[in-house]
């Protein structure tokens, strides 16, 4: 799990510095490592809101509710 912390930190840095392409790659890797981690889900939702992708936000929230998380 320590390694996942490093990936989450890198992802946050991508957002902070506006490196969208690297951020997408890191996010994909994180979702494979820990798809249900609250930090990842929150950050993904926040990223989608920032990008104005409201349909994806609703899809993510609906899938989370169906899983009971």
For 41-58, how does the pLDDT look when each residue is reduced to its tens digit (9 = 90+)?
777 777 777 778 888 888
Regions in the chain scoring below 70 on pLDDT = 1-2, 39-40, 64-69
pLDDT (0 to 100) of residue 66: 67
What residue ranges do the domains of the chain occupy?
2-67
pLDDT (0 to 100) of residue 1: 55
The DSSP call for residue 18 is: T
pLDDT (0 to 100) of residue 45: 77
pLDDT (0 to 100) of residue 12: 82
Residue among 46, 49, 42, 33 at smallest CA distance from 64: 42
pLDDT (0 to 100) of residue 3: 73
């Amino acid at each position: 799990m320590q390694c996942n912390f490093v990936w989450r930190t890198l992802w946050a840095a991508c957002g902070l510095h506006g490196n969208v392409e690297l951020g997408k790659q890191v996010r994909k890797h994180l979702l494979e490592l820990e798809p249900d981690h609250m930090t990842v889900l929150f950050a993904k939702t926040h990223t989608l809101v920032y990008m104005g992708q409201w349909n994806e936000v609703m899809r993510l929230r609906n899938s989370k509710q169906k899983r009971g998380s």
